[in-house]
A and B are shown apart, each in its own frame.
Chain A
Amino acid sequence: MAIQRIFVANRGEIAVRILRTCRTLGIETVLGVSEADRESLGARMADRVLCLGPAQPAQSYLRVDTVVQAALGSECDAIHPGYGFLSEHADLARLCEAEGVIFIGPTADQIEAVGDKLRARVAAEAAGVPVIPGGSAGSPEDACLLADTIGMPLLVKAAGGGGGRGMKLVEHAADLAATMDMASAEAEAAFGDARVYLERYVRSGRHIEVQLLGDGEGRVIHLGERDCSVQRRYQKLVEETPAPHLPPATRAAMHEAAVRFAARLSYRGAGTVEFLYDVPRDAFYFLEMNARIQVEHPVTEKVTGIDLVAEQIAIADGRGLGVSQADVMCDGAAIECRINAEDPDRDFAPSPGTVSEAHWPQGEGIRVDTHVVDGARIPPFYDSMIAKVIAHGADRAAALARLRTALTEVRIAGVTTNLAFQQAVLADPDFAARGVDTGFLARFLDRAKAAA
């Protein structure tokens, strides 16, 4: 059995990225596009293009039946879902399983197992992977006992809250009972649910994730970690590997925990386990697992020399892992910067339109993943990311210097981008000096506002 023709069920830079690897491997490609993407770079590269439907994703890229029908009707052996859209919809994986089309990704059951946050947390605990300490407490005595094991400071959270609402910080154990009473009364008033629970408060946290490959038979290897702490409202902007200034023992423990979690599921394909790294305590907690190729995968490819999309295809084809853990060598450091068609001066509002001119940097250690060429249209219906600029160097300082130089060569005319903003972030002395925490970008924006 060998995959000969792949249906690419995605758009933008990741469609182009997947098509390139297929080309290298000599695999034919069929790209499903919406009406808005008929003239895209991906559509020009694919061997065949099929229009799935109108521009609105719900009528094209998100239609499971149409995608599978298109793959079957064009005699594709396999579907690559990319990231976003249908990549983590168990429905697509399940329909592929029923129709005998290879889904390049995990099984439908695995997608469901990691997609449900509560189930994933239980699975993490069962695999001996640390989760953030916490729990519910009935009586004040129970709460005190629980608070002892969690440690101070901690958060009192409303069970009915979410998205940062209904949280109270407790700094001293003596304040716990009073704060819980107050939080409970407020939760009752705000959410109609008086239940509260306790959770460890992470004063300074970093987002660190581990790249995995699993053969579906229980063998799982890791390809190092990525630090994605430069985020604006949970949107990653800069990603790098290795995570800077992480104690070696912690790094190794993180890798092992991620492998344990995925091995217990007999995970198949490429996946990522995300952790919150608690800087003051030098501890890490399981956040979630992403059952797909990720936007920031190129930094891992740069330091390991492994083509993750090719590995995904090989695993889906039943050929297992192409490398063993001992073969995985991480060479130097790599940093990725996302270029988005958005306006930082207007609260990062999307800036769709037609790109009249696009010039991307080239050179030693530089890689650009993009679908944006002269005349490319940025439709308003989709994600605003137009490119990822990746720099690799012997160490972090060398990679950062290359990335800064590369960004000065970028020319984009016709749409507003966050290029100048990203240059300012990369020039920040804090970022240059060490690994920053997830609060870095908010502080950076506050400083910029104050200076204006």
Chain B
Amino acid sequence: MSRQAHEDTIVALSTPAGSGAIGVVRISGPEAIAIVNGVFSKNILHAPGYSLHFGQVLLPSGEVLDEVLLSVFRGPRSYTREDTVEISFHGSPYILAEALNLLVSAGARPALAGEFTQRAFLNGAMDLAQAEAVADLIASTSAKAHEIAFKQMRGGVSDEIGKLRHELLNFTSLLELELDFGEEDVEFADRTQLLQLIQRISAMTTRLAETFRLGNAIKEGIVTVIAGRPNAGKSTLLNTLLQEERAIVSDIPGTTRDTIEESLVIEGVKFRLIDTAGIREAQDQIEAIGVQRTMESIGKARILLYVYDVLGTPQAEKEADLEKLRKEGLEILVVGNKWDQAWQLHDNLFERFQKTIPGHELAISAKENNGIEQLKAALLQAGVGSSNAEENVIISNLRHYQALRAATASLSEAENAILAGLSQELVAIDIRHAIHHLGSITGEITTDEVLGNIFSKFCIGK
């Protein structure tokens, strides 16, 4: 292949560490094929790209380390655009560790985290938005997050941004046309036209920025706090919720002593459930700290499950609690628990009450697994709402989000400037700010492009 950005060849285990059916070792760089050839039972020096080879990986002693299947990729037709070999070993930690040692002593260098993707980026295989998406893809822990990352990697965001850029370029051209060519015999955009255009662009950036909340939630998991008075049944609820999903639940280390965090995936959307200490007037200092932590958790949460005991909680107490907990941006689901006990008191009470419960209030029995499906549906609704994550491009990258937010702010200043009847060169300053902010994702719009656009559309010149 032609000259490359990198002189050295890197190697890493590409599947997760630990036992599995197979473990894939990837090696990329100018010497990739030669290095593998030196430890393989067959000659692959002239193997074509996209070819599969069955054989043995041999230790220096001549002993067979493992029987493997290896794939040869010839640059630039590979992920990194470099020559690459992927070797599928049996998934034993011992074999994989030995294999890495073997390849490193044969001349490869252990790859740094993300280095394959960095090479793919630096070798021009993907743009920055795509490279960032790969990182997200690798880290994605739920089906939805995987989907967003995958779409972004395939250029979804880049396409959307491309459209946005096109609109901005046209808008800028209209402004500059009248500034630089005011003497020309061409028709200039009037204020109404400019307003319509900028509102359209604003709507685009706003919409993209708004997808971030969802995108980020899906990527990171939606923080959901379970709170309520002591013995309302919070922990039981947590366990009940997790029971069915046990297989994909993982403990997240580093949670505080008195709040427990677990992950729950509902229809591909990840929720981070945080069980908290009960809320009540603190009896002692330790408990006061617990309550304080609860409040901190709520501060970070998107959804609050307020759980109360339907039999033992006075209405006033519940309302006082809710009053304290309510805050901007926090979705509260009120969950009446222990309906099984109420149900014992009267045969049809549960069903009847469930139909008459106001608003967001849900009736469940955590212990008897009653009403849990409805609760999950409510959680999903509160978490991702009705927005259709299937069709839209979703912004899940913080840097993109911030750029879009800042650009939207500049665009709205530009809109105000147009409304106030200010001259175009002042509107243009705000537009330049917007373009500057978006530049990190859309690519900067240059004067040459603006002028080129003007000359191609308008008859300029005496």
Asked if A and B are interacting partners, one says no
> Chain A: residues with CB nearer than 8 A to chain B?
none
B→A interface (CB under 8 Å):
none
